[in-house]
């Protein structure tokens, strides 16, 4: 075989592209960026729901990584892409290991990766358990406000489940103008219930606080009920407990038996997302073979396309949209950039020349 050696000068390799920066944002920075901004985050979440409602987002199904040797644990991937005036792509990777609680560490941990819209390069990794709790609480506060319009505003609230999510939801309710005459607390763990009561007292809550021994007591005495448990299957099945037609924020999705779902007016964040993974609405669909027990989405309520009746129990069951994590994560990133405290990892992207 003959090897030809050309004497024609070969063009030089093009100049390498400017290496994109990659930043790591700690939980402390995330918390500082979000501190005291409940109203702004609720407004951001509302705008994101509306953006998603117009179809200017991509929010594929979440992927659940489960383990044969750890059946109560899971890690969930939530990929998403958000359009609008500040487009961004990304992924939340969030784990739920309930056995952590007994070891004295939180059940959930998470990171959020933000990707550049034009190049696809990831440009930031953020601690995301705080972002996840914040967007969940903001969604709950938004739903509580909009779904209580047209009915007497709740004066009593009951928290069924007293972990981090419950604490964040209470904080967002308190910081967006909600006032209650009494607060009810119920948890299978007496220690957790006592800890939540202590948090309420230290947060300045002046309402009458009652730790209920039974789920029935909590539900029957609350106009607004927040389910924030780690339940994997329904454990509340008595329809008569809801005869007073409360507003229910069914954040943990799997607490209520299909009978209660079917006896209520149901609002979700996204129909296709919520009717899967054995959520309570999904179980109701499986039982009946239909979906007409769903009145619509929260975006339908925001846009005035549907109005929940005042004389029925209203359930809000949000599966949790990845675009909300993107929106809050990008808000945090921009705040950290503005503060001048962005920690960039030098040379994170190293092989940037195609041929070396």
Q: What is the mean pLDDT of the chain?
A: 92
Q: Extract the tokens encoding 80.
A: 């998403």
Of 104 and 249, the one with more pLDDT: 249
Q: What pLDDT, on the 0 to 100 scale, is given for residue 40?
A: 98
Of 300, 227, 290, which is closest to residue 270 (Cα–Cα)?
300
Percentage of the chain lying above the pLDDT 70 cut: 95
Question: Span 125-144, mean pLDDT?
Answer: 98
Contacts of 102 (CB under 8 A, 6+ apart): none
Q: Measured in Å, how far apart are the chain's first and last C-alpha atoms? A: 27
Percentage of the chain lying above the pLDDT 90 cut: 85
87: exposed, middle or buried (C-beta count within 10 Å: 0-12, 13-18, 19+)? middle
Question: Span 163-182, mean pLDDT?
Answer: 96
Residue with tokens 């503060």: 339
Q: What is the largest CA-CA distance in the chain?
A: 93
| 23-131+322-339: CATH topology | ornithine cyclodeaminase, domain 1 (3.30.1780)
- The CA distance from 291 to 258, in Å, is 12
Q: What pLDDT, on the 0 to 100 scale, is given for residue 18?
A: 57
Q: What pLDDT, on the 0 to 100 scale, is given for residue 55?
A: 94
Domain(s) labelled CATH 3.30.1780.10 in the chain stretch across 23-131+322-339
Residue with tokens 């092989």: 351
Statement: residue 347 has pLDDT above 90: no
**pLDDT of 269-321, one tens digit each?**
999 999 999 999 999 999 999 999 999 999 999 999 999 999 999 999 999 99
Statement: residue 353 has pLDDT above 80: no
Contacts of 258 (CB under 8 A, 6+ apart): 234, 280, 283, 284, 287, 288
Q: What pLDDT, on the 0 to 100 scale, is given for residue 112?
A: 98
Would you place residue 6 in the very low, low, confident or very high pLDDT band (cuts 50, 70, 90)? very low
Question: Span 51-71, mean pLDDT?
Answer: 94
Would you place residue 1 in the very low, low, confident or very high pLDDT band (cuts 50, 70, 90)? very low
Residue with tokens 């103008």: 177
Question: Span 105-125, mean pLDDT?
Answer: 94
Question: Span 312-338, mean pLDDT?
Answer: 97
Q: What pLDDT, on the 0 to 100 scale, is given for residue 3?
A: 31
Give Cα separations from 344 to 18, 26, 188, 334 (angstroms).
15, 12, 44, 14
Q: What is the CATH number of domain 138-317?
A: 3.40.50.720
DSSP string, 32-80: HHHTT-HHHHHHHHHHHHHHHHTT-EE-PPPEEEEETTEEEEEEEEEEE
Buried b (16+ CB within 10 A) or exposed e, 115-141: beeeeeebbbbbbbbbbbbbbbbbbbb
Would you place residue 102 in the very low, low, confident or very high pLDDT band (cuts 50, 70, 90)? confident
Domain(s) labelled CATH 3.40.50.720 in the chain stretch across 138-317
Q: What pLDDT, on the 0 to 100 scale, is given for residue 13?
A: 53
Statement: residue 328 has pLDDT above 70: yes
- The CA distance from 101 to 222, in Å, is 27
Of 147, 202, 210, 142, which is closest to residue 180 (Cα–Cα)?
210
Statement: residue 4 has pLDDT above 50: no
Would you place residue 69 in the very low, low, confident or very high pLDDT band (cuts 50, 70, 90)? very high
- The CA distance from 168 to 165, in Å, is 5
């Amino acid at each position: 075989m003959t090897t030809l050696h050309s004497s024609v000068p070969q063009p030089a390799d093009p100049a390498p592209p400017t290496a994109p920066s990659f930043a790591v944002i700690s939980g402390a920075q995330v918390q500082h960026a979000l501190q005291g901004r409940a109203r702004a985050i609720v407004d951001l979440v509302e705008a994101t729901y509306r953006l998603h409602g117009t179809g200017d987002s991509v929010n594929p199904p979440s992927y659940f990584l489960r383990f044969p040797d750890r059946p109560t644990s899971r890690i969930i991937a939530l990929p998403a892409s958000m359009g609008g005036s500040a487009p961004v792509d990304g992924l939340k990777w969030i784990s739920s290991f309930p056995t952590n609680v007994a070891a004295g560490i939180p059940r959930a941990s998470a990171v959020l990766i933000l990707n550049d819209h034009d190049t696809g390069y990831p440009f930031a990794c953020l601690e995301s358990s705080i972002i996840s709790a914040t967007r969940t609480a903001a969604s709950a506060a938004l739903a509580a406000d909009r779904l209580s319009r047209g009915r007497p505003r709740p004066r009593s609230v009951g928290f069924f489940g007293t972990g981090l999510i419950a604490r964040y939801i209470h904080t967002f309710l308190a910081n967006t103008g909600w006032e209650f005459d009494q607060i009810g607390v119920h948890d299978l763990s007496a220690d957790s219930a006592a800890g939540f009561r202590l948090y309420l007292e230290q947060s300045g809550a002046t309402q009458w606080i009652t730790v209920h021994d039974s789920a029935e007591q909590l539900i029957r005495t609350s106009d607004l009920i927040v389910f924030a448990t780690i339940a994997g299957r329904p454990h509340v099945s008595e329809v008569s407990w809801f005869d007073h037609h409360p507003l229910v924020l069914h954040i943990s999705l799997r607490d209520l038996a299909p009978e209660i779902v079917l006896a209520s007016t149901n609002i979700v964040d996204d129909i296709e997302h919520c009717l899967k993974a054995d959520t309570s609405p999904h179980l109701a669909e499986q039982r009946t073979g239909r979906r007409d027990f769903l009145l619509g989405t929260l975006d339908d309520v925001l846009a005035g396309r549907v109005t929940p009746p005042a004389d029925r129990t209203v359930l809000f069951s949000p599966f949790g949209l990845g675009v909300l994590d993107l929106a809050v994560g990008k808000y945090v990133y921009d705040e950290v950039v503005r503060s001048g405290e962005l920690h960039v990892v030098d040379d994170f992207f190293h092989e940037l020349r195609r041929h070396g």
